[in-house]
Amino acid sequence: MNKYKHIIFDLDDTILDFQDSEEKALIQIITRYELPYNKQIIASYKRINERLWHELEKGLITREQVLTTRFSLFLKEFHIDENGAKVEALYREHLNQGHKTVIHAHELLNALSKQDYKLYIGTNGVGKTQRKRLRDAMLEGYFEQLFISEEMGYEKPNPHFFYYIFDALNISRKEELLMIGDRLTSDIQGAINVGIDCV
């Protein structure tokens, strides 16, 4: 008999290849503002973006602040004064199109769905974007429920993100849950914070 009954998957870089989607969306932004597309430019954006997401995970800033300032801060490094929310909306249009899966994602989900596991998505993200990408990847049907931070009001690793899931699924036995994700600071730390197993 399986120990786990409920498996919560992170979405980006666990099921869907976010690096691919992000790169394609970034190319659109970078070329629009006539910046050279090279490793230094990408590194500059990623440094700013990662710092803001870490601050969000620590509860120091809000999701809205991440989304409305990351591009204004990025472009400011190249002496371009632009409204961050405006650039974010453009970026989001392109990001929404990205739905490439990580290798063997379909095979894994198909194998698990044929057993007695109940599968869920637990992601920090924007609801409209995450739902569209999952639907376009034709993976939506594998999951019983999607838990998306924007819709829940809590971000991983905040324990309330997981408590929300426990309540929604009426789960009392935490040993029956497994969290699978790619980020130590959100997926893994979040699971540890509430005492559930994680990979």
Tell me how far apart the alpha carbons of residues 199 and 181 are, in angstroms, rounded to a whole number: 6
Question: For the chain, how many residues are written?
Answer: 199
Distance CA 30, CA 113 (A): 40
φ, ψ at 120 (rounded to 5°): -140, 160
The catalytically annotated residue of 10, 12, 17, 187 is 10
Pull the structure tokens for residue 19.
Answer: 């690096």
Active site residue 10: yes
Q: Pick the closest to residue 106 from 9, 25, 196 (CA basis).
A: 9
Q: Enumerate the active-site residues.
A: 10
